[in-house]
Amino acid sequence: VFDRKKAESLLNRQRALSDETGVPCMVVVGDREVADSAVSVRLRTGEQLPPRSLDDFKKTLSLAIKDRVRDLA
């Protein structure tokens, strides 16, 4: 059984930990994203990028890794 309160609490703890450790972004895949075959990206700055296709995100991430870019915006 899905417990929304526990899930939100866990997500908030993960966000805080990623902020503390300098993780450059968090990828969110919820029901809406699954239905749209998309991902939502939240940057370290707290900025929420518009949802994008999984293929587009893979390309963006691959280029960022290749070029050692820390900003996915």
Rounded Cα–Cα distance for residues 64 and 73 (Å): 10
Band of residue 70 on the pLDDT scale cut at 50, 70, 90: low
User: Tokens representing 51?
Assistant: 């949802």
- pLDDT: which is higher, 72 or 41: 41
Confidence at residue 17, expressed as pLDDT on a 0 to 100 scale = 85
First to last CA, the chain: 36
3-57, pLDDT tens digit by residue?
889 988 988 888 788 778 877 788 888 888 999 999 998 887 888 889 999 999 8
pLDDT higher than 80, residue 68: yes
pTM: 0.63
